[in-house]
Amino acid sequence: MKPLVVQSDHTLMLEVDNPKYEEARDFLVQFCELVKSPEYIHTYRITPLSMWNAAALDVPLKEILEGLTNFSRYTIPSNVITDIEEWHRIYGKLVLVKDSKERLRLEVKDSLILERIAHDERLEPFWLERNENSFFISAEERGSVKQALIKAGYPVKDICGYVTGVYLEIILREIDLDNNPFRLRDYQTDAVEAFYHAGHKTGGSGIIVLPCGSGKTIIGLGVIARVSSRVLIVSTNNVSVCQWRDELISKTNIKADQIGEYTGIAKEIRPITITTYQMLTYRHNKNEPMRNLEIFSSEDWGLIIYDEVHLLPAPVFRATTGIQARRRLGLTATLVREDGREDDVFALIGPKRYDVPWKVLENRGYIAEAYCMEYRLSMPYEVEVKYAHAGKRERFRIAAENPRKIEMVKELIMNHSGDNILVIGQYISQLEEIARSLVLTLITGKTKHSDRRRLYSDFKAGRIKVLVVSKVANFAVDLPDANILIQVSGAFGSRQEEAQRLGRILRPKKRRSLFYTLVSKGTDEQEFGIKRQLFLVEQGYKYHIQYGI
């Protein structure tokens, strides 16, 4: 019996308990989004954006249609086939090319689309001139017109090319400063090539999607070396800034005095400058302009790297609209955005250029094998009463701070004596209570940067075996020996957060990695937990449910 049912509303139902489940799952992730994943049937959805990304990745339309036929239990509805063909083929129908220094030409290779956009009032302000099959726009509107067109349902293939930026010779070392042999893994090299595309105009912008722990920073170094020009790197926090700097110094010929940190600690603009999203959007009050955003246009950058690109705040989107002549690389473990702005990422950073399923890298030994388990815990009677009388938002926090989670954390730590354990959560008061009750070290956003680095170093060295951390550890924290993660609370159903937290324990190691999530049974938190599981299931992880205290 075939495992897949394709429905006329563009949803696909995949039977989990089927011998062809894994093969079908790996096929679907090339051009579908996972919507929900209960025990026996997983639901996927085909969308225009998912098909545009497939087309940008050169996944052949014939391969998609043949695969659906091979896996489908019933005949595929004709409207779904029609929409798949239309959405896939529309990518490449609108091509943006350079006409002169001051203006660009939008070539439209479909007469119906040509007429539609010609009479779309939202687009009329962009057109300087029109000929038989093209529109001319100001070069300054390169980002704005792509953003407007994708909102109207028309993705643009941008082959206008990029400025080279100020030349800076960057060479990858064969032996890093710790005297370890260094070279890119095969998939890292493939990712660099997919982005750069031999310097061709169709390369040079886009997203690389790979698991935490798979070396996205190393891919960034590979791209930096390939481009060899001034670079702006935008990351998530000051710890990440330090990690980028350390990797650049250790694994390239770049000297420390060529790297600038533009943060709350230092304001340095140098050939390679590293900053944070928070720094770029900082202002004293909401009425002031975000002056730090000028860093995008203040220097002749040849490359801008967006680390954890799925976190791009709206003001950085707006700044990115105006720098389309710069090469742009986005790095992320998941393209899912909680605000639904995936189409803006596609239009302004670029399409997905490279993606490898997590399980593929796990099977090859590049990331650790992980076991995911959820403990559903009852709440004390007095907490149950408080929960019953609370509003919806208050209910979530009451359930998240269930005091019985502390007992469960203690039990899990005892069961994993000798392991390297991270306890992570959303609410500071909860984490403070866990740290106080169990006499554990705590890191939050209030922890001084110097203290944070020292504590992370002690954890790496094994001097601290259990570390309690807030969401500051969600992103870009390099703790390669961590193999147990206990998640006591999280954001409302955030798949991107689930991806990042799992990534904390995916560095290859001799010990097995375990990802525990604690939720309050029968509450809103449990419902949001089901949404968070989507990411894990999408990547091929089995999610086990246990009932605790």
- pLDDT above 90 for 494: no
Q: Same structural domain for residues 373 and 497? A: yes
Is a pLDDT exceeding 80 seen at residue 540?
no
Cα 132 from Cα 114, distance rounded (Å): 9
d(CA 188, CA 194): 10
Residue 520 binned pLDDT confidence (cut-offs 50, 70, 90): very high
Confidence of residue 84 (pLDDT cuts 50, 70, 90): very high
Q: Is residue 324 part of a domain?
A: yes
Domain assignment of residue 344, yes or no: yes
The predicted model gives 222-239 an average pLDDT of: 93
- Domain residue limits at 124: 94-158
Domain count, the chain: 4
373 and 487 assigned to the same domain: yes
Which string of b and e fits 301-329 if b means at least 16 CB within 10 Å?
bbbbbbbbbbbbeebbbebbbbbbbbbbb
Tell me: pLDDT of 528 over 80.
Answer: no
pLDDT at 114 over 90: yes
Residue 327 lies in a domain: yes
pLDDT at res. 435: 94
Q: What is the mean pLDDT of the segment spanning 31-37?
A: 80
The per-residue DSSP string of 80-136 comes to HHHHHHHHHHHTTTEEEEE-SSSEEEEEE--HHHHHHHHT-TTTGGG-SEE-SSEEE
100 and 76 inside one domain: no
Same domain, 323 and 202: yes
The CA distance from 497 to 503, in Å, is 10
Beta-carbon contacts of 249 under 8 Å, excluding residues fewer than 6 positions away, are 177, 255, 256, 259
The reply to whether 467 and 542 lie within a common domain is: yes
Q: How far apart are CA 369 and CA 213, in angstroms?
A: 12
Higher pLDDT, 297 or 270: 270
* Average of per-residue pLDDT across 35-42: 76
pLDDT of residue 289: 86
Strands 41-45 and 134-138 turn out to be unpaired
In this prediction, residue 355 has a pLDDT band, given cuts at 50, 70 and 90, of: confident
Q: What is the mean pLDDT of residues 166-190?
A: 92
Looking at residues 267-280, what average pLDDT do you find?
94
Average pLDDT over residues 487-495: 74
User: Where does the pLDDT of residue 472 fall: very low under 50, low under 70, confident under 90, or very high at 90 and above?
Assistant: confident
What is the predicted pLDDT for the residue at 179? Answer: 87
* Over residues 457-468, mean pLDDT: 89
- β-bridge partners, 515: 372, 485
Please identify, among 45, 71, 90, the residue that sits at the C-terminal boundary of a domain: 90
Highest mean pLDDT among 280-289, 430-439, 495-504: 430-439
> For residue 493, is pLDDT > 60?
no
Tell me if 165 is assigned to some domain. no
Mean pLDDT of 173-188: 91
d(Cα 182, Cα 174) in Å, to the nearest integer? 5
Q: How confident is the model at residue 549 (pLDDT cuts 50, 70, 90)?
A: low
Question: What does the pLDDT read at residue 200?
Answer: 63
Q: Is the model's pLDDT at 265 over the cut of 60? A: yes
Q: Does residue 388 surpass a pLDDT of 80?
A: yes
Residue 349 burial (10 A CB sphere; 0-12, 13-18, 19+): buried
Same domain as 492, residue 401: yes
Residue 537 lies in a domain: yes
Which residue would you say has higher pLDDT here, 5 or 38? 5
72 and 29 together in one domain: yes
Q: Could you tell me if 520 and 379 lie in one domain?
A: yes
Average pLDDT score, the chain: 88
The confidence score (pLDDT) of residue 262 equals: 94
Can you tell me the distance from the alpha carbon of 548 to that of 204, in angstroms, rounded to the nearest whole number?
50
Please, which pLDDT band fits residue 476 given cuts at 50, 70 and 90?
low
Query: CATH number, domain at 487?
Result: 3.40.50.300
| In the predicted structure, residue 336 carries a pLDDT above the cut 80 | no
| Within a domain: 40 | yes
Q: Is 172 within a domain?
A: no
Residues 217 and 293 grouped into a single domain: yes
Q: Determine the Cα–Cα distance for residues 250 and 382; give it in Å rounded to an integer.
A: 55
- 54: tokens are 């497939």
The per-residue pLDDT for 392 is: 81
Q: Model confidence at 109, in pLDDT bands (50, 70, 90)?
A: very high
Q: Is residue 27 included in any domain, yes or no?
A: yes
Tell me what pLDDT residue 526 has. 84
Domain boundary among 356, 379, 404: 356
Are 411 and 284 within one domain?
no
Three-class DSSP category at 46 = coil
Residue 109 CA: distances (Å) to CA of 94, 135, 146, 181? 6, 12, 16, 50
> Looking at per-residue confidence, does 523 or 530 come out higher?
523
Give the domain-ending residue among 110, 142, 158: 158
Q: Which amino acid is at 543?
A: Y
- Tens of pLDDT, residue by residue over 7-26, are 999 999 999 899 999 899 88
Query: Are residue 241 and residue 385 in the same domain, yes or no?
Result: no
User: What's the pLDDT score for residue 380?
Assistant: 94
Residue 284 has pLDDT above 90, yes or no: no
197 sits in which H/E element:
none
- The mean pLDDT of 180-203, rounded to a whole number, is 85
Q: What pLDDT shows up at residue 362?
A: 82
| pLDDT-based confidence at residue 339 (cuts at 50, 70, 90) | confident
Instruction: For residues 268 and 304, state if they share a domain.
Output: yes
pLDDT band at residue 429 using 50, 70 and 90 as cut-offs? very high
- Stretch 183-198: mean pLDDT: 90
pLDDT of residue 207: 93
